[in-house]
Structure 1
């Protein structure tokens, strides 16, 4: 069996922020869909093993090798030795073998299994495009001789991940690939942005690149203003995110008025904030020093760079997402 050229990344299971997306029936929650979502891009450690770039050495199902593992839209697909295709719920029970780096820097083989596969709920599919499965992935932990979940529980109490045909690095940069993929836990921004409708493989909304929309969403949700992978937000922070996609869009809509108490924060592209009216949280002065071309000194409410969508589009006509937030002081 030849090695499978793929990367396994698992979504964040720790820090959460609350995100208010504008569609009225999104993520299974009404009243503008207040939802939880991870501050981090993906899990950093699982049982002491670095999770940010596993090269898969093999994939088996019922002890038979599988080859050509890949992500087709929102599901994992591979081939049996006879050339037939395995996908969807038929992947239940598959074993994945990968190299990981432990805390000492040593490389060791890590084994995963797909304990269960279920189709995504329509309530998490605002574009009604289907083709997505949720994977319950477990890691074999030799110390306890047991299988342990690789994802933490999401707001539905499920420990599942969505496959994405791309990888993400420490800077938050997205790298599309036909041979490498990511499993994003539903507690992290990779899966959350997918579930908000920014599915990287979508087409049909003018010339919009959904790969770029998904990437931009991961920046905006984490308040990654400088586009360097650093989040500038806290647990429980509420934001309102929307797009200006042409018909049949927008996917996330802005109402006639901003949610009570919220004001404009920023416009976004794949590099982070195009410009900023104010930070989501009152931050120390180091933030403005990191990317002064788009940020203003925190706390100087009058010294804004952009206060409206029009201001953002004046700086970048191709800005993809916009958001409002409360002024969080403490």
Structure 2
């Protein structure tokens, strides 16, 4: 199975669009019910303030003049679908929560801030039914409501709510121990890897995909050293594959192998995908970050040196 992670708001649109601010809208067409073949476009965006973890303080479902308190927030096991209990004892899930108003305590790694959030819509992915896209609006103080997530053009887009949280310094996804939830916006590395199929809650061939997800977020951003430093540019094309059985993504080109990836970054490296970054310079950076040296990649399978994913690229 393969897909394009590019700008696909229109059904027949498969080419990424440079929006002039260093961002590219990169979105797979799962919600349109279309599966497209082709290599994948990477980018540099990962996460922002919202993604390190959120804690729910108060929640109500507003229905006309009726307000129901909502408690027991969690994800339906094995999915990214939200669920909660109402004060009337009802278990509400997915689009039954549209209209809910929430007060979140958000930790951006530096300070905590209380914000108001509302659920504006919930849509189930067509080809990955365990993924739910949640429209989340946010408001600070008495300001206007605005979308929590925006694409490269600044237009509203959906979020995927995930278990756990993202470490503020390393950008590593962690499962959490107290029912934490985090948000992955579509088009970022955090969201794109989920849509490609590497859902941290899922298994493939009996193998947990949590580490494949971590490896994918490193790979998309060319975070070779696993220190949250990107070495790529938006719109750079890479060919992605894994060694799973059955594979989620398989090679589509005969391009040179760039690197193989584990949860903490590259496990071997040839020429980085951007010629502005030499192999020697990246290896020096990794040594400075305590990763040690990176060997060359020689074999054509992702599993060399313990890799989980493999990226191929035409250096540019």
Question: TM class, shorter-chain normalised?
Answer: 0.7 to 0.9
CA distance in 1, matches of 2:314, 2:226: 22
Report the counterpart of residue 326 of structure 1 in structure 2: 314
CA distance in 1, matches of 2:59, 2:44: 31
- Contact in 1 for aligned 2:297/2:304 (Cα 8 Å): no
Report deviation, 1:217: 0.8
Does residue 236 (structure 1) correspond to residue 232 (structure 2)? The answer is: no
Question: For structure 1, which segment, 282-291 or 175-184, has the greater mean C-alpha deviation from structure 2 after superposition?
Answer: 282-291
- Contact in 2 for aligned 1:19/1:239 (Cα 8 Å): no
Under a length normalisation based on structure 2, what TM-score does the superposition of the two structures give?
Answer: 0.77
- Contact in 1 for aligned 2:59/2:103 (Cα 8 Å): yes
- Contact in 2 for aligned 1:17/1:237 (Cα 8 Å): no
- Contact in 2 for aligned 1:273/1:294 (Cα 8 Å): no
Report the counterpart of residue 248 of structure 2 in structure 1: 251
CA distance in 2, matches of 1:228, 1:308: 26
Give the count of matched residue pairs: 279
In 2 relative to 1, CA 20–225 (structure 1 residues): closer, same or farther, beyond 3 Å?
farther
In 2 relative to 1, CA 161–20 (structure 1 residues): closer, same or farther, beyond 3 Å?
closer
Report deviation, 1:214: 1.1
Report the counterpart of residue 283 of structure 1 in structure 2: 277
CA distance in 1, matches of 2:293, 2:248: 26
Under a length normalisation based on structure 1, what TM-score does the superposition of the two structures give?
Answer: 0.74
Report deviation, 1:286: 4.8
Report the counterpart of residue 195 of structure 1 in structure 2: 195
Report the counterpart of residue 299 of structure 2 in structure 1: 308
CA distance in 2, matches of 1:205, 1:58: 40
Q: Matched residue of 1:187: which SS?
A: coil
Instruction: Identify which of 255, 260, 263 aligns with 2:256.
Output: 263
- Contact in 1 for aligned 2:51/2:166 (Cα 8 Å): no
Report the counterpart of residue 150 of structure 1 in structure 2: 148
Gaps of 5+ in 2: 1-18
Q: In angstroms, what is the RMSD of aligned CA positions?
A: 3.1
Q: Matched residue of 2:95: which SS?
A: helix
Gaps of 5+ in 1: 1-12, 45-49, 296-303
Does residue 80 (structure 1) correspond to residue 86 (structure 2)? The answer is: yes
In 2 relative to 1, CA 34–269 (structure 1 residues): closer, same or farther, beyond 3 Å?
closer
1:66-109 per-residue CA deviation (whole Å, 9 max, x = no partner) reads 1121122121111112432111111111112123479xx77542
Report the counterpart of residue 184 of structure 1 in structure 2: 184
In 2 relative to 1, CA 197–51 (structure 1 residues): closer, same or farther, beyond 3 Å?
closer
Q: How does 1:3-152 map to 2 (within 5 A)?
A: 16=23, 28=34, 30-35=36-41, 38-44=43-49, 52-62=52-62, 63-72=67-76, 73-100=79-106, 108-122=113-127, 125=128, 130-142=129-141, 145-152=143-150
CA distance in 2, matches of 1:176, 1:107: 20
Report deviation, 1:280: 1.6
Report the counterpart of residue 298 of structure 1 in structure 2: none
- Contact in 2 for aligned 1:18/1:34 (Cα 8 Å): no
In 2 relative to 1, CA 179–106 (structure 1 residues): closer, same or farther, beyond 3 Å?
closer
CA distance in 1, matches of 2:33, 2:191: 12
- Contact in 2 for aligned 1:189/1:218 (Cα 8 Å): yes
Q: Matched residue of 1:291: which SS?
A: helix
CA distance in 2, matches of 1:30, 1:51: 29
- Contact in 2 for aligned 1:20/1:34 (Cα 8 Å): no
- Contact in 2 for aligned 1:274/1:294 (Cα 8 Å): no
